[in-house]
Structure 1
Amino acid sequence: MARPQLLSIPERLDAYPDVTGEGIVMAFVDSGFYPHPDLMRPRRRIKVYADATVDVPDGREFFTPQTSSWHGTMTACSAAGNGYRSGGSFRGIASDAEVVLVKAGADGGRILGKHVAHAIRFPLRYPDLGVRILNVSLGINDGDPDYADVERAVEEVVAAGIAVFAAAGNAPGRHVNPPGSVDAAITVGGQHDRFSPGRTSDSIWPSSHGSKRGTTKPDLLAPAIWVPAPMLPGTLTAREAAPLFQTLSILEELSAEHGFSERHSLSTPAERTEIGELMRVVEARIARQKYISHEYQHVDGTSFASPIAASVAAQMLEIAPKLTPADIKRGLCETAEKLPDVAAEMQGAGILKPRAAVDWARARV
């Protein structure tokens, strides 16, 4: 079973390699986070970690991998990770940006509007952090009593000069909920580029669209499948991956040794069949768990499309620091490319084009 050889997101999207979000601060609101080496080494780029669900945060849980930590860690790293644990291979586009991490997931992973609104407003309470971009890869339900307050929080943050990116969601039969439903937000749906750069190969990822307000959402599309992201150290997932890849490597070496006869005396058809079956079992497990190495796996969904788009905004701001949230939205949308035969309400402006967006920003310096 052949495993896809994943490129980093910058390579896959042909982003400028020398524009990496240097000097830009990005905030992430999510269920939880962990200080992964891809954000901490060789230099610490996490400026602040905050918990919007409690009055007095217990900092110890930040340093202990939790079930609720994986989603936020992966979203942050898909935008701003430097791929430290992969030798730089699985880095994000904004790999030099600094990050502010704000937890909005309550006990048991519950996402409540009051916590999301509080987390979104965090950069307003601490303006000295210099946040320019805020990504929210979660949403609230229709019946949440703080539905309107989440919308207001987004509007307040954008009015303060912070570009807000939001995941559209992965339910094509449902509308987009806050924060992505807010017109001022840059709402990102999903695209499947099928690992080739041409428009003819692209298709749409199943994404939520539209909103109660009647606004066209999403605003644009970004990759939402086969996105490389780090696993949480010490978790069952991470502990399983390493021995699986070690076992597969041994089996591949055995398989390559001249019919198994020169060194291992495994030359009978039955022995060759047994090795082949073992390889298929191991490869099937690796594929099922979405492992791409002993420390990384691929992740899917608009939760990861949104931070990828946000990372391009970090490039734009590095080149042109005076851009406003409205400028960023305009630049991303004007340089996006429409997917043929896909309704406008499903794709917005079309698929993200990082180089074109940075060139747009450069022309406005």
Structure 2
Amino acid sequence: MFFINRKIDAHLKQFMKLNIKNKIPVIILIKSNTNKIKSKVLSSNGKIKWEYENISAISCELSPMSIDALTEYPEVSFICYDYKGNLCLTNAHKIMGTNIINVYGLTGKNIGIGLIDTGVYPHPDLINKRNTIAYFKDLINGFDKPYDDNGHGTFLSGCIAANKYTTNIEGIAPDSSIYMIKAFDTTGKGFLSDVVKGIDILISMSSNTNLRIITLPFEFDISPIINPLELIIKTAISKNIIVVAAAGNNGPQSFSINCPGNIEEVITVGGAECSGNIKSCKVASYSGRGPTTNKITKPDVVMLSSNITSLSSDTTYLPGKSSHIASFYTIKSGTSIAAAFVAAYCAIMLEKTPTLTPKDMKSVVCLSTISLGENKYSQGKGLVTFT
């Protein structure tokens, strides 16, 4: 019966009831014969947005009747709504830069870190001493050179790989390389289909580049029966890529960690704030708390995330145009910062021991902590340290 089919995401059913005549963005997960399903989409006047290389799926726009009709095909396993996600960063309320001392003397050399974000501005601290931007792909507007019309991706890139060109601010892994996928727009919103495509691209690149880590500084409040984001993330991990995700900014209540931070195999990072030394550190009030709805203990660890100084962006800049940045630096807070720091930490650990698997790295990160005296659903194993 129409709208009752179990192959349809429950959230999608609500949109189908409200949009009988309008096309709806969806992701179709396919068991077999992708070409047949693509043909059916096109013959239903659907528009295909993305095809994926590393999971059997396509994203497209379809009418409710066409969605319902497609579920009758045995080749279709599930149809998921194309949700919008949010970045995990906020403006700071006071100025307090934080320097993290890397006692290992490692710099992340020859390690690539993928970021699914708002883009990256060609900031002097990222390109003048050494061009840390190894790759840029724009899934929103189609530009072929780096830019950032929001600033979030540039800020995190600075946390990872800033190189002290204009001042004394340096990322945790200044010799690492940034592989940036722009899947979030100027408002900090991004479609699930674009995020999955971004991870798909990075997985395909990993076999012939130095890309070893993917950072996911966002959250989707979704729980479909079959989750395409979870599928692509687990595919990445199966191909020996370390995945680091933010715990989100929905704390302090329990069960406030959304996808992808609620996936067991990823390294989920909550946020911490300090007023001077480690003894003063505590889990940030906004940091997402576990457990997850399927009773997984999350986050895995916490990292500094409040009132952090990093790189700013000229959000009006577009490739080929002149740039007029007002200030090279800004101060922000959020668990996406914590995730970026831990991703950079993973890079220096990989520089030291390149054979570490995602499972090994998760163990290393969890062991590199000190307890803040809070419960495991707030701090995980504790605060990641570099000592």
Question: Normalising by the residue count of structure 2, what TM-score does the alignment of the two structures yield?
Answer: 0.68
Task: Choose from 235, 242, 245 the match for 1:163.
Answer: 242
Aligned to 1:38: 125
Structure 2 counterparts to residues 193-342 of structure 1, below 5 A: 193-196=274-277, 198=278, 200-206=279-285, 207-210=287-290, 211-233=292-314, 294-340=327-373, 342=374
Q: Which of the residues 84, 98, 113 maps onto 1:26?
A: 113
Q: Does 1:90 align with 2:169?
A: yes
Contact 1:140 1:147 in 2 (8 A): no
Distance 2:132 2:229 in 1: 28
Q: Do the aligned partners of residues 108 and 335 (structure 1) sit closer, same or farther apart at CA in structure 2, a change above 3 Å counting?
A: closer
* Structure 1, gaps ≥5 residues long: 242-293, 356-365
- Local SS of the residue matching 1:39: helix
Is 1:123–1:129's contact at 8 Å kept on the other side of the alignment? no
What corresponds to 1:273 in structure 2? none
TM-score, scaled to structure 1: 0.72
Q: 1:234 to 1:304 in 2, by over 3 A?
A: closer
In structure 2, the residue matched to 1:131 is: 211
Q: CA deviation at 1:24?
A: 0.8
**SS of residue paired to 1:225:** coil
Cα RMSD (Å): 2.4
Q: Check the 8 A contact 1:209/1:346 in 2, yes or no.
A: yes
How far did 1:45 drift? 1.7
Question: For residues 187 and 157 of structure 1, do their structure 2 counterparts lie closer, same or farther at Cα, with a shift above 3 Å needed?
Answer: same
Assess, with a 3 A threshold, how the Cα gap between structure 1 residues 310 and 108 changes in structure 2: closer, same or farther.
closer
Aligned equivalents of 1:147 and 1:92: distance in 2? 37
The superposition leaves residues 23-76 of structure 1 with CA deviations (integer Å, 9 ceiling, x where unpaired) of 11111111332222222121212111012347xx2226x34x52x3x0011111
Q: Map Cα deviations across residues 184-210 of structure 1 (whole Å, 9 max, x no partner).
A: 1101000112232x3x21111121122
Structure with greater proportional helix content: 1
**Offset, 1:110:** 2.7
Task: Show CA shifts across 1:153-202 (max 9, x none).
Answer: 11111111111011111111352122111111101000112232x3x211
| Structure with greater strand share of residues | 2
Residue 181 of structure 1 pairs with residue 224 of structure 2? no
- Matched residue of 1:85: which SS? coil
Equivalent-residue separation in structure 2 for 1:112 and 1:234 (angstroms): 20
Q: Compared with structure 1, are the counterparts of its residues 165 and 34 closer, same or farther at alpha carbon in structure 2 (3 Å cutoff)?
A: same
Q: Tell me the residue number matched to 1:59.
A: 144
The offset of 1:234, in angstroms, is 7.0
* 1:115 is the counterpart of 2:194: yes
Number of the residue aligned with 1:289: none
The 1-side partners of 2:293 and 2:133 are apart by 36
Query: Quick one: structure 1 residues 130 and 147, their matched pair in 2 at CA, closer, same or farther if it must change by over 3 Å?
Result: farther
| Deviation of 1:85 (Å) | 2.2
State the AA in 1 paired with 2:220. Answer: I
Deviation (angstroms), 1:122: 1.8
Aligned residues: 284
Q: Deviations over 1:200-229 (max 9, x none)?
A: 211111211222332111110000112111
Tell me by how many angstroms 1:112 deviates.
1.5
Structure 2: state its 5+ residue gaps: 1-93, 318-322
Distance in 1 of aligned mates of 2:192 and 2:298: 20
